[in-house]
């Protein structure tokens, strides 16, 4: 598979990750959501949060690292990649702040707030690159590992 096709799959994986994250947030609070029966939300929440989200995050991170490595330059495209790496590290760091007695407070909450802020910024940057691609002006491939300058 070419790097261009792999990058396309990785973008779709990223957007799927956004949807799964939103479903995760909705299923985390079943008592306040009358659309999800309480007895079904536990299994769905655990499947999403303990299997699907880590898997999607690792694959998206791995593909991005393979495609872009550590791009040089300070343009918006490079910042988008680095912000994605930071988001990945903060996500796994914040979710590891759960001890035997539950979340280690207040650090767990601080980590989650930072994680969601980074996710929102990363998704916004992805959306702006998507718009540029549709307009024919995005050159994200120019920072791919091995791209010719």
42 in Cβ contact with 29 (< 8 Å): no
Question: Which of 1-10, 89-98, 116-125, 131-140 is the most confident on average?
Answer: 116-125
Question: What distance lies between CA 115 and its chain's CA centroid?
Answer: 10
Domain residue ranges of the chain, discontinuous segments joined by +: 3-143
Residues 21-80: tens digit of each pLDDT: 888 777 666 555 566 555 555 677 777 777 888 899 999 999 999 999 998 877 888 899
**Over 80: is that where the pLDDT of 89 sits?**
yes
What pTM was estimated for this model as a whole? Answer: 0.80
Confidence of residue 136 (pLDDT cuts 50, 70, 90): confident
Q: 119 vs 138, which has greater pLDDT?
A: 119
Confidence of residue 144 (pLDDT cuts 50, 70, 90): low
What integer pLDDT is reported at residue 72 of this predicted model?
82
Report the 3 state secondary structure along the chain: CCHHHHHHHHHHHHHHHHHHHHHHHHHHCHHHCCCCCHHHHHHHHHHHHHHHHHHHHHHHHHHHHHHHCCCCCCCHHHHHHHHHHHHHHHHHHHHCCEECCEECCCHHHHHHHHHHHHHHHHHHHHHHHHHHHHHCCCCHHHHCCCCCC
Residues 53-70: tens digit of each pLDDT: 889 999 999 999 999 999
């Amino acid at each position: 598979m070419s790097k261009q096709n792999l990058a396309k799959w990785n973008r779709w994986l990223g957007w799927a990750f956004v949807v799964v994250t939103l479903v995760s947030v909705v299923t985390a609070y079943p008592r306040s959501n009358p659309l999800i029966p309480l007895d079904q939300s536990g299994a769905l929440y655990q499947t999403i949060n303990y299997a699907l989200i880590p898997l999607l995050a690792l694959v998206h991170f791995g593909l991005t690292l393979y495609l872009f490595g550590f791009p040089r330059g300070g343009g918006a495209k490079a910042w988008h990649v680095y912000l994605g790496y930071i988001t990945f590290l903060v996500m796994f760091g914040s979710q590891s702040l759960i001890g035997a007695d539950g979340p280690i407070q207040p650090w767990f909450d601080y980590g989650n707030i930072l994680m969601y802020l980074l996710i929102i910024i990363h998704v916004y940057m992805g959306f702006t690159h998507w718009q540029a691609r549709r307009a024919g002006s995005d050159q994200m491939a120019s920072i791919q590992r091995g791209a010719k300058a």
